[in-house]
């Protein structure tokens, strides 16, 4: 079974630009969550999508947005990039269903390392 | 706001030593997970604990969930250099939201 894939793995942008990151979940998983990881703040939850709908949202500004497609693949967009957006962006997939914790065990992709200059 | 506090933040030990990492919260979680992350990679799930008081063993790693389901610990026996990494605990809420601790960075010296 293929794992979670994220593209691209590395990205360099300049302030003010926008960026789109992509995540393909494990086959059969309907939930995709996005996290930002920085040395100072740790893993911060951005949002979670389930069946094309945003189900949960973290405390990030509106410059961070996402969407999920009918095949469960997800994209995350950051507009008007700031230096502080430099981070490792991780996506995680799970079944996302009620019925027990194993349905919500998250499996992470390798991340996209975004550097904003 | 639900928070998970991990301690210690950093740990540097010699090969063969034992260690315990703690994960504490004032909130109750439906389950708690432990992950290990290596540099440049995503976290890898080690274990999920569900029942208060539950103990799970994975070779030299022992995970315990507190009776009140608010805290957890990870104990590593006879640490090896391959255990080096960032250990993260994560609590699952009833609303399908996962809260992560800040992590414990472990370095095991040969």
Give residue-wise pLDDT tens across range B60-83.
999 999 999 899 999 999 999 999
pLDDT band at B96 (very low <50, low <70, confident <90, very high): confident
Q: Which pLDDT score, from 0 to 100, does residue A99 have?
A: 61
Phi, psi of B67 (to 5 degrees): -55, -40
Q: Which of B30, B97, B100 sits opposite A101 (nearest CB)?
A: B30
Chain-chain contact of B48 with A101 (C-beta, under 8 angstroms):
yes
pLDDT band at B24 (very low <50, low <70, confident <90, very high): very high
Give residue-wise pLDDT tens across range B4-20.
999 999 999 999 999 99
Count of C-beta atoms within a 10 Å radius of residue A59:
8
Count of C-beta atoms within a 10 Å radius of residue A68:
23
- In whole angstroms, give the CA distance from residue B97 to residue A57: 9
Q: A100 versus A43: which is more confidently predicted? A: A43
State the best of B29, B96, B97, B101 to mutate against chain A, taking most chain A CBs within 10 Å: B96
Is the C-alpha dihedral spanning A91, A85, A46, B87 positive or negative? positive
Q: Which pLDDT score, from 0 to 100, does residue A67 have?
A: 97
């Amino acid at each position: 079974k293929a794992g979670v894939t994220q593209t691209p793995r590395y990205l360099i942008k300049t302030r003010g630009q926008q960026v789109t990151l992509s995540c393909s979940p494990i086959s059969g998983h309907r939930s995709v969550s996005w996290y930002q990881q920085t040395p100072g703040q740790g893993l911060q939850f951005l949002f979670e999508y389930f069946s094309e709908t945003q189900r949960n949202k973290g405390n990030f500004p509106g410059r961070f947005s996402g969407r999920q497609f009918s095949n469960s693949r997800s994209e995350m967009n950051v507009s008007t990039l700031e230096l502080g957006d430099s981070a490792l962006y991780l996506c995680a997939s799970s079944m996302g269903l009620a019925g027990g914790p194993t349905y919500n065990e998250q499996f992470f992709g390798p991340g996209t390392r975004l550097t904003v200059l | 706001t639900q928070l998970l506090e991990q301690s210690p933040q950093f740990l540097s030990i010699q090969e063969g030593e034992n260690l315990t990492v703690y994960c504490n919260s004032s909130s109750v979680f439906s389950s708690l997970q432990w992950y290990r992350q290596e540099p440049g990679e995503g976290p890898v799930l080690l274990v999920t604990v569900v029942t208060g008081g539950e103990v799970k063993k994975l070779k030299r790693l022992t995970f315990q969930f507190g009776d009140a389901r608010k805290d957890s610990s990870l104990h590593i026996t006879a640490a090896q250099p391959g255990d080096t990494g960032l250990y993260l605990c994560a609590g699952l809420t009833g609303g399908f939201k996962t809260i992560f601790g800040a992590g414990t960075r472990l370095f095991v010296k040969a």
